[in-house]
């Protein structure tokens, strides 16, 4: 049952609007920002349902990664020490209560993680979940191709002044809103096509990424391809030559993608963020999860509702106490994963690494599709490490 619920949620969350289109009258609808809220609701409902089903069926196992628990405990201090200065914008007061929604999401995803990591997944179960990832990536790439060919009648194209100035192909938003948010989803799913040796599927997704023009997604795609090449090369001479080729390719990529270096205004925002960590006296415990949109963006009347660098925003929100705890949890995850390395775990690590790379220049960790997929992958890894439990109804 857990496997079926996971597969259903992994399809429903990214493709909610596409599925909804076939059940409502009319020809199409635009991608409103509110659709992200709807996807978050579906993701939270799925977390509660899957976690509760696992808890009722066989209970939770003790998590191996104690740093996850340490970060959960830190969030109490994070809320307690968040700034409480009243910010009045359009007769709406924001008095430091921005923490509770993101903290609830953290607890919901932790509940999901406990449910998945406590479950037992047979080889056939993992293959079916991986196939879901692969086909979702393929479906998203086909939707993006239809959009660039002007054949998509599900979504109306949002004007560039709404979707953002730096987007090269605003019409290639898939069902995630815009190309810079959709293309990384394809890169995340390509390793699962490689896992099943579906080279054509992987090629279709890779071509969609390149056509989208998303610089960070193409960089992640290049590194993913390089990992597979290096992983399968045994000759040292070829390996060294391949390494030189990779460096040259990265330099050429940077040269032909100046947006990656110019950053469309990111550097100025990042500099201001680092400055205000000290001037606003939030460097120790952070401004609180979810604070950036209010404590930074609204105060500065800025259109930057995200830092476009998840690690810098994590530092802004959790300070020098919470950020190291989070990265210690990541380090422990990587350590256990490499110690128990197999084909399934390797595929997951490469997929997650691609998201980690793109997150240096965007805000993927704050989108429901990426949040849910990453937690599912993390739970599966710990299930394989722990040995899991047999699920009678699987």
Identify the H or E element spanning 319: helix 310-339
**In the predicted model, what is the mean pLDDT of residues 124-139?**
95
The conformational region for residue 286 under phi > 0 = left, psi -120 to 50 = alpha, else beta, is left
Are the C-beta atoms of 206 and 155 separated by less than 8 Å?
no
- pLDDT level of residue 275 (50, 70, 90 thresholds): confident
Greater pLDDT, 272 or 98: 272
Residue 131 pLDDT greater than 70, yes or no: yes
CB 363 within 8 A of CB 308: yes
pLDDT digits 0-9 by tens, 133-191: 999 999 999 999 998 888 888 876 555 544 555 556 777 888 888 888 899 999 999 99
Q: How many CA atoms lie within 13 A of 168 on its CB side?
A: 16
How many whole angstroms from its chain centre is CA 122? Answer: 26
- Separation of alpha carbons 349 and 310, rounded Å: 18
Task: Domain ranges for the chain, please list them.
Answer: 2-386
pLDDT of residue 393: 45
What's the whole-number mean pLDDT along residues 242-268? 59
Predicted pLDDT at 245? 61
The pLDDT value given to residue 189 = 96
Q: What is the mean pLDDT of residues 270-294?
A: 82
pLDDT band at 333 (very low <50, low <70, confident <90, very high): very high
Tens-digit pLDDT profile for residues 26-48: 665 555 545 788 899 999 999 99
Question: Which of residues 157 and 197 earns the better pLDDT score?
Answer: 197
Q: Is 66 helix (H, G, I), strand (E, B) or coil?
A: helix
Q: pLDDT grade, residue 251 (50/70/90)? A: low
Rounded mean pLDDT of 263-274? 74
Q: Which segment of 55-59, 142-146, 227-231 scores lowest on mean pLDDT?
A: 227-231
Least confidently predicted of 44-53, 61-70, 124-133: 61-70
The pLDDT of residue 394: 42
Q: What gap in Å lies between CA 229 and CA 236, rounded to an integer?
A: 13
Over residues 220-230, mean pLDDT: 82
Task: Say what the pLDDT of residue 266 is.
Answer: 73
Q: Residue 138 CA to chain centroid, in angstroms?
A: 17
- The DSSP code sequence of 119-170 is S---HHHHHHHHHHHHHHHHHHHHHHHHHHTT---SEEPPPHHHH-TT-S-T
Residue 208: pLDDT over 50: yes
Is the confidence at residue 88, as pLDDT, over 60? no
Among 373, 385, 380, which Cα is nearest to 186's?
A: 373
79 three-state secondary structure: helix
**pLDDT over threshold 70, residue 260:** no
Whole-number pLDDT of residue 10? 95
CB of 368 closer than 8 Å to CB of 36: yes
Identify the weakest region by mean pLDDT among 27-36, 106-115, 268-277.
Answer: 27-36
C-alpha 83/C-alpha 295 separation (Å) is 8
* CA 190 – CA 206 distance, rounded (Å): 8
Task: Give the per-residue pLDDT at 241.
Answer: 61
pLDDT mean over 96-119: 88
Query: 392: pLDDT confidence band, cut at 50, 70 and 90?
Result: very low
Dihedral over Cα of 18, 20, 26, 29: its sign: negative
Please count the helices (runs of H) and the strands (runs of E) in the chain.
Answer: 16, 4
Q: What is the pLDDT of residue 263?
A: 52
**Residues facing residue 88 across a β-bridge:** 93
253 has a pLDDT exceeding 70: no
pLDDT band at 390 (very low <50, low <70, confident <90, very high): very low
pLDDT at 355 over 70: yes
What pLDDT sits at residue 234? Answer: 59
- For 150, residues 6+ apart whose C-beta sits below 8 A from its C-beta are 171
CA angle 325, 329, 335 (to 5 degrees): 140
């Amino acid at each position: 049952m857990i496997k079926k619920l996971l597969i259903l949620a992994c399809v429903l969350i990214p493709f909610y609007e596409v599925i909804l289109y076939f059940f409502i009258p009319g020809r199409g609808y635009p991608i409103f920002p509110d659709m992200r809220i709807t996807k978050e609701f579906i993701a939270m409902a799925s977390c509660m349902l899957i976690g509760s089903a696992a808890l009722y069926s066989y209970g939770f196992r003790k998590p191996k990664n104690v740093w996850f628990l340490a970060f959960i405990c830190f969030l109490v201090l994070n809320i307690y020490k968040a700034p409480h200065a009243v910010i009045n914008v359009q007769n709406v007061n924001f008095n430091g209560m921005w923490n509770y929604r993101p903290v609830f999401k953290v607890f919901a995803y932790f509940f999901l993680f406990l449910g998945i990591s406590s479950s037992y997944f047979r080889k056939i179960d993992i293959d079916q979940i991986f196939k879901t990832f692969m086909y979702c990536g393929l479906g998203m790439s086909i939707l993006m191709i239809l959009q660039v060919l002007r054949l998509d009648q599900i979504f109306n194209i949002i004007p560039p002044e709404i979707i953002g100035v730096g987007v090269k192909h605003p019409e290639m938003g898939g069902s995630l809103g815009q190309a810079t948010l959709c293309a990384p989803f394809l890169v995340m799913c390509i390793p699962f096509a490689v896992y099943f040796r579906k080279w054509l599927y992987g090629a279709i997704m890779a071509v969609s990424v390149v056509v989208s023009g998303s610089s960070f997604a193409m960089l992640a795609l290049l590194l993913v391809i390089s990992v597979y090449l290096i992983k399968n090369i045994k000759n040292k001479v070829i390996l060294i030559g391949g390494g030189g080729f990779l460096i040259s390719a990265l330099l050429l990529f940077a040269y032909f993608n100046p947006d990656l270096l110019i950053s469309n205004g990111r550097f100025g925002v990042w500099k201001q963020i680092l400055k205000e960590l000290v001037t606003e006296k939030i460097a120790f415990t952070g401004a609180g999860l979810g604070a950036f949109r209010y404590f930074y963006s609204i105060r500065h009347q800025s259109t930057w509702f995200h830092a476009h660098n998840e690690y810098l925003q994590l530092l802004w929100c959790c300070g020098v106490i919470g950020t190291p705890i989070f990265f210690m949890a990541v380090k422990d995850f990587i350590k256990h994963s490499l110690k128990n390395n197999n084909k399934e775990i390797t595929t997951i690590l490469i997929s997650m690494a691609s998201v980690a790379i793109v997150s240096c220049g965007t805000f993927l960790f704050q989108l429901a599709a990426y949040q849910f997929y990453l937690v599912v992958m993390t739970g599966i890894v710990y299930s394989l490490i722990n040995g899991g439990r047999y699920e009678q109804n699987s």
